[in-house]
Chains A and B, each alone.
Chain A
Amino acid sequence: MALKLFLQDILGGMTPELFLQHLTNGISLGSLYALIAIGYTMVYGILRLINFAHGDIFMMATYFTFYSIVLFSIPWYITFFLVIIMTGALGMVVEASAYRPLRDAPRISILISAIGASFLLENLAIVIFGGRPKAFPAPELFTKVFMIGSVSVQRLTVIIPVVTVALLFVLLYLINNTKSGMAMRAVSKDHETARLMGVDVDRTISLTFGIGSMLAAVGGMMWGLKFPQIAPLMGVIPGLKCFIAAVVGGIGNIKGAVIGGFILGIGEIMLVALLPSLTGYRDAFAFVLLIVILLFKPTGIMGEKITEKV
C-alpha cells in the first residue's frame, strides 16, 4: 500500500498498474539487450576488438532457425541446439577469414575488417534469403500471455531474463574456473606472453568467437520469439544498441553488459512512458546515453582500470 502511494506520488497521473506494465515491458526488452550485449563484451574483453559483425551473426542465427523449423520441420527444441552450434561455427569461420589474417595488424585494421565482415553478412543474407521480411516461427509455448493482477506478462518476459542470468553465470564460470577460460584471460592480457607460456592463441581466440556467436544465437532466437519478424538488416540496430549497452556497463565487463542492457531497455520504455511527446526520439535515447557515459565515465559503470581485463 505504501509502495502504491509512493508510486502515485512520483508518477503523477500514472496509475501503479500502468507503471508496473511499463516496468514489465522494460525488463523484457532490457534482458534481451543484456543477452546480446554479453556476447559483444566478451569478445571485446578478450581481444580488444569490437566485433561489428556480432549483430549480423545474430541475424544469421534467426534465419538458421527459420529454415530449420519452416523448411526442414525440425522441432524447436532440436533446432535450438542445432542453431547454437551452426552459429558458433559461423562465428569461427568469420574469425578465421576476417580477423586471423590481421592478428598482428594495427587494431584499426581489424576494426575495419569487422565492419567489412558485417556488410558482407548483410548483403549475403539479402542475396540468399531475399530482402523481404519473413515471419519467425514462434511456438505458442513461449508467446502465451498470463496476467498478474491487471498486468499482462508474456511467458518470454520471464524466460528471457532467466536465460540471460543463467548464461551470465555459465560464462563467468567458464572464464574464471576452466582451463580454456584461463587461456582466454591470459590471451586478453598479452598475446605474445600467452604464446610463450604454451597457450594456443589462435585456438583460444577462435573459441572465444565461437562462444560469443553462440550467445548471439541464443539472443537471436529470443529476439525472434519476441519480435517474430526477421529481415537481413534486422541485426544492425540491435547490434548498435547492445554495443551501447556494453559500453554503458563498461565494455569488457560481462556483469556490466547485463546491467547496461537493463538500463537501456528500461530507460527506453520509461522515456516513452513518462514523456510521451518524445516517443519518436526513443532510438536517440541510446545514443545520448552513450555520449553521456563517454563524457563522464568512459570506462562505463562497472568499468575497470585498463590493466585489468575480462
Chain B
Amino acid sequence: MRRKSLFLLVSLLTLALVIAGCSAPQTADAPKEDDVIKIGVFEPMTGANAAGGALEVEGAKLANKLYPEVLGKKVELVIVDNKSDKVEAANAAALLVEKEKVAAIIGSWGSSLSMAAGDVIREKVPTVGASCTNPLVTQDNDWYFRVCFIDPFQGKVMANYAYNNLGAKKTAIIQEVSNDYAIGLAKFYTDAFKELTGDDNSIVTVTNYNTGDQDFTAQLTNIKATNPDVIFAPGNFTESALIIKQARSLGITTPFIGGDTFETPEFVDIGGDAVEGAVFSTFFTSEKPITKESETFLAEYRKEYNKEPAAVTALAYDAYLVILDAIERAGTTDPAALRDAIAQTQGYEGAAGIISLDENGDAVKNAVIKEVKDGQFVYLDTIEPK
C-alpha cells in the first residue's frame, strides 16, 4: 500500500516533468557573414496555431524572394518556431536576439506569443508584428510595431455587424481564456455591443475554454439555455471550428461570428458544413486589391503557391517590406536607428493597404468582413476606421 502510493507520487512528479518538458528551439541554417542582413521570422510552426504561422511564413518568404537585397547586402530570413507556446515564444525570440543577432524580427501570429517576446526584444531588436491585434503588444513597448489594426477597432466592427446586419440584441460569448487576443477582443466587443444596444445585460453569457480543448459541449449547452441572437467566438481556428461543429450537433442554429483568426484553411477543413455562414473581420481581401503592391503580391503569390492568399500572408509580406524600407531610409541596421526609421513609417504602400504607424506603432487601417460560403472566404464589406 505504502510502496504503491510512493510509486504513484513518483509517477505524478514525472507527469509534472512531462507537462513542463520543453525541448530546445530549432534554428534555420545560417552562415555568419558580414554582407548578410538577417531578419528573424518568429512564428508558430507547430502546435495549436501552426496553420496561422505557416501562412505568415509564406508571406515573409515571398517578400524575401521578390526583394532579396537592401543596402547592397543580401537579406536572409531566420525562421524560428515558437511552438504556439508562450514560454517557447520567449525562448525563440531570445534565440533570434542573442544567438542569431538579427537586425529585425517579423511576427508573431497570435498576440499572446508576441507579448511573450515583448520584453526579450525591447531595447535590442525592433520587431514588426503582422497580425497580432491585441493593443498590449505595442503599448509601452517602443520596439514593437505592427502593420495591422488593433482589437478595439475589430471588436467594434463585429459588434456593429451583429447589431446592424444581424439585428442581434443578445450575444453569448465563448472565448479562449488562455489567449490574450481572445480575451481582449471579447472585451472590446462587449463594450461596443453594450453601447449599441444601450443594454447592460445584452451580453447574456460569457464562457471560457482553454487552448487545445476539444470538448465544448458543456459550455455550448449552457449557451443554448440562454437563447442568444448571435454567438461571438474569438479564439484559435481549430477550437473555433470544433465549437461551431459541436454547437450545430447540439441543435444550436444561432449564427457564429468571430475575429481574423477564422481565416485559415483549417477552419473550413475541420468545420466543414457546420462553419458555413460564419462571419468574421479580417485585414485584406484578394477580391479588392488596394495598391500596386497588392497586385504584385497577388500575382506572385498565386504563381508561387497556386492558391488565394490569406490576409495574414499579405501582412507578413508587408512587415518585411516595412522593415526593408526602414533599413534603406536609416542606411544602417543599427538597432536604435532602425527603430526610429520604422516608427516614422507614413503612407507606405503595402500589399494589404497603406501603412501609417501611429504613436503606439500601430497601423491605422480598414477592416474587411468576410463570410464562409461553399467552403470559401467571401468578401462582404469594408469598414473604415473613424
Contacts and interface: CB of A to CB of B under 8 A. Distances in A.
Do the two chains bind?
yes
Main secondary structure of the interface of A (DSSP, over half): helix
A298 B17 CA distance: 21
Given A126-B46, A227-B214, A232-B46, A108 B18 contact: no
A279 B47 contact: no
B164 interface: no
B121 to A, nearest CB: 24
Interface in A254-285: 268-273, 276, 279-280, 282-283
B218 A25 contact: yes
Contacts of B45: 131
Interface stretch (A15-23, A97-105, A191-199): A15-23
Q: How large is the interface on B (under 10, 10 to 19, 20 to 34, 35 or more residues)?
A: 35 or more
Contacts of B51: 132-133
B99 interface: no
Contact of B251 (A133, A147, A269): A147
B218 A268 contact: yes
A52 B17 CA distance: 12
Contacts of B4: 298-299, 306
B10 A21 contact: no
A133 B14 contact: no
B347 interface: no
A143 B249 contact: yes
B270 to A, nearest CB: 4
B21 interface: yes
Contacts of A143: 249
B330 interface: no
10 contacts: A14-B225, A28-B217, A131-B50, A134-B269, A228-B242, A268-B215, A283-B210, A298-B1, A298-B5, A305-B1
B219 interface: yes
Given A115-B18, A294-B9, A299-B4, A21 B48 contact: no
Nearest to B6: A298
Interface in B183-228: 205, 207-210, 212-215, 217-219, 221-222, 224-225
Contacts of A184: none
B238 A21 contact: no
9 nearest CB pairs, A to B: A131-B46, A298-B5, A272-B218, A25-B217, A227-B214, A135-B269, A131-B50, A280-B208, A280-B177
A131 B47 contact: yes
B270 A229 contact: yes
Contacts of B242: 227-229
B97 to A, nearest CB: 23
A112 B18 CA distance: 10
B1 A152 contact: no
Given A229-B242, A240-B19, A294-B9, 17 more contacts: A21-B250, A28-B217, A29-B215, A131-B81, A132-B50, A133-B48, A133-B50, A133-B51, A145-B249, A229-B266, A237-B212, A247-B8, A269-B215, A269-B218, A273-B221, A276-B205, A280-B209
B221 A290 contact: no
Contacts of A282: 209-210, 213, 218
B210 A306 contact: no
Contacts of B10: 108
Contact of B207 (A112, A271, A279): A279
Contacts of B17: 115
B218 A294 contact: no
A22 B221 contact: yes
Among B19, B48, B217, B241: residue with most chain A CB under 10 A: B217
A154 B242 CA distance: 15
A272 B47 contact: no
B54 interface: yes
Given A52-B18, A269-B217, A272-B218, A231 B48 contact: yes
B186 to A, nearest CB: 13
B210 A152 contact: no
B266 A276 contact: no
A80 interface: no
Interface in A122-152: 123, 126, 130-135, 143, 145, 147, 152
A233 interface: yes
A45 to B, nearest CB: 13
B3 interface: yes
Interface string A1-37: 0000000000000110010011001101100000000
A191 B221 CA distance: 50
A89 interface: no
Given A283-B210, A290-B12, A228 B270 contact: yes
Interface in A280-308: 280, 282-283, 290, 294, 298-299, 305-306
Among A112, A132, A271, A279: residue with most chain B CB under 10 A: A132
Interface in B1-35: 1, 3-5, 7-12, 14-15, 17-19, 21, 23
B12 A294 contact: yes
Interface in B217-247: 217-219, 221-222, 224-225, 238, 241-242, 245
B54 to A, nearest CB: 6
